[in-house]
Amino acid sequence: MHYISTRGRTPPMGFQDTVLEGLAPDGGLLIPERIPDVRDRLSYWATLSYQDLTFEVLREFVDLPGEDLRGLIERAYKAFAHPEIAPAWRVGPVWILELFHGPTLAFKDIALQFLSQFFEYVLEKRDARLNILGATSGDTGSAAIHGVRGQKRVNIFIMHPHGRVSPLQEKQMTSVLDANVFNLAIDGTFDDCQTIMKSVFRDVEFKRRYSLGSINSVNWARVMAQIVYYFSSGLYVMAQTGAPRVSFSVPTGNFGDVLAGWYAAQMGLPVGQLVLATNENDILARFFNTGTYRVGHVVPTLSPSMDIQVASNFERYLFYRMDRRADALSAAMESFAKTGSLSVSGRDELFRAGVGKTEDTLATIRRYRDEHGYLMDPHTAVGVHVAERHVRAEEPMICLSTAHPAKFSAAIEQATGSDCAHHPTLDALRDAPTRCDRLPNDEKAVRAYLAARVG
């Protein structure tokens, strides 16, 4: 499998170079040159463990020896607390896919534990070093930091919006004191952090000089690893219910998680609907309902990982919506950068979209705790609220649960009236020492910080 850029001005490259590049040199996003068709393997895949299924899915995309790939997968998931890695449960009218059993209690662990293992593997083989620059709205940063902390060939620089992630999310990042970890609190929004990151990566000379790589969902390996849990849960729920297909509801801000579901459907998983759920920052929901993608103002909410206006992965999807025409996509993205708006004709019938506002989020958390004895975090609650409007008979609805509720204990207490969301890993962080540097919302300041510490 080779990878091409959505902008069409980067020569095709192999998987290993694709992952190390992160963002394509021409400013586009790297995607597989073709989407594999696996419909003839679904019956066999339904019998596999999560790790074995991961191997089968990933070998459609990677250029690693089989034994090496299996080793990376085994090491990536050995730290997960649940033997099924991503278990699915029937809860009331929906199924809940729990993606928070990794070391930082968020769905980002599933991809980033694999990616961190891959970095260590390929850098050792190439006798190379990598300086990771990332932006986070909450969970990506801690998952990436915990994946590469202490690695000798990697430094990691994570930007987060100052005061706009939950206290526990911030603590999970800033309490990691390893010498190769640098936390940067930026005076701005997540979109500002993401804009700085993308601008730095577009400077190819700077990127090469300082050996920069990405762990954000612009990195194809992130999307690729997330495809697996759509197959694992979809095949499991179909087997349990006898349904011919399933639907998924995905709380999303950056479009990476739901994009993985779209790829799974294109590969042949029987998916009836992809329900895209946003909070008040509803740019993606508005696009799928109107065809217009228009930037608004970021609104702080109880689901801060979704407090995003410009979704970094959306360009990958637009490339396909524009019939894989890199010239049309490039023109649209250049226009969007100037005007903050773009429109696409037609409708993708696979997608449904809706919004879960703060009052909906609190009500859903409270109702599922009271009626079903199940506690969910606010991001999951947004997805469940929107999902309930789209449940179809004979088509089970699988809702992605993206974080452990204890990561958002204040929201849980606000919803339920009790301090009932705890996890020993998080409770242990409350008095932990931290290290973080605060920087202005300024690309030059970030570049200078990087240069001074990389050397």
Cβ pair 37, 57 in contact under 8 A: no
For the segment 150-179, the average pLDDT, to the nearest whole number, is 92
Q: Is 347 exposed, middle or buried (0-12, 13-18, 19+ CB in 10 A)?
A: exposed
Cβ pair 439, 446 in contact under 8 A: yes
CA distance 2 to 4: 7
For the segment 305-329, the average pLDDT, to the nearest whole number, is 93
pLDDT at 217: 80
45 found inside a domain: no
Structure confidence by residue, pLDDT tens digits, 9-29: 999 999 999 999 888 999 999
Residues 6+ apart with CB under 8 A from 203: none
239 found inside a domain: yes
Range of the domain at 247: 75-103+221-426
In the residue annotation, 357 being an active-site residue is answered as no
Q: What CATH number is attached to the domain comprising 336?
A: 3.40.50.1100
Sign (positive or negative) of CA dihedral 278, 281, 284, 289? positive
Instruction: Determine which one of 78, 108, 207, 357 is catalytic.
Output: 108
454 found inside a domain: no
215 found inside a domain: no
Total structural domains in the chain? 1
67 found inside a domain: no
Structure confidence by residue, pLDDT tens digits, 422-454: 999 999 998 899 999 999 999 999 999 999 998
Residue 169 C-alpha from the chain's centroid: 15
For the segment 91-114, the average pLDDT, to the nearest whole number, is 95
Give the tokens for residue 128: 């190379």
37 found inside a domain: no
Give the tokens for residue 17: 């170079």
Task: Reply yes or no on whether the pLDDT at 193 is more than 70.
Answer: yes
pLDDT at 455: 67
In the 3-class helix/strand/coil scheme, how is the chain assigned residue by residue? Answer: CCEEECCCCCCCECHHHHHHHCECCCCCEEEECCCCCCHHHHHHHCCCCHHHHHHHHHCCCCCCCHHHHHHHHHHHHCCCCCCCCCCEEEECCEEEEECCCCCCCECHHHHHHHHHHHHHHHHHHHCCCEEEEEECCCHHHHHHHHHHCCCCCEEEEEEEECCCCCHHHHHHHHCCCCCCEEEEEECCCHHHHHHHHHHHHHCHHHHHHCCEECCCCCCHHHHHHHHHHHHHHHHHHHHHHCCCCEEEEEECCCCHHHHHHHHHHHHCCCEEEEEEEECCCCHHHHHHHHCEEECCCCCCCCCHHHCCCCCCCHHHHHHHHCCCCHHHHHHHHHHHHHHCEEECCCCCCCEEEEECCHHHHHHHHHHHHHHHCCCCCHHHHHHHHHHCCCCECCECEEEEECECHHHHHHHHHHHHCCCCCCCHHHHCCCCCCCCCEEECCCHHHHHHHHHHHHC
203 found inside a domain: no
pLDDT at 69: 97
Cβ pair 148, 116 in contact under 8 A: yes
Q: What rounded mean pLDDT belongs to the chain? A: 94
Cβ pair 148, 133 in contact under 8 A: no
362 found inside a domain: yes
Give the tokens for residue 353: 């979209």
Structure confidence by residue, pLDDT tens digits, 248-278: 999 998 899 999 999 999 999 999 999 999 9
Partners of 248 in the β-ladder: 274, 398
Residues 6+ apart with CB under 8 A from 366: 415, 416
Give the tokens for residue 183: 């936390």
Structure confidence by residue, pLDDT tens digits, 204-251: 899 999 999 888 788 999 999 999 999 999 999 999 999 999 999 999
pLDDT at 29: 96
Residue 422: half-sphere exposure toward Cβ, Cα within 13 Å:
7
Cβ pair 311, 387 in contact under 8 A: no
Partners of 182 in the β-ladder: 157
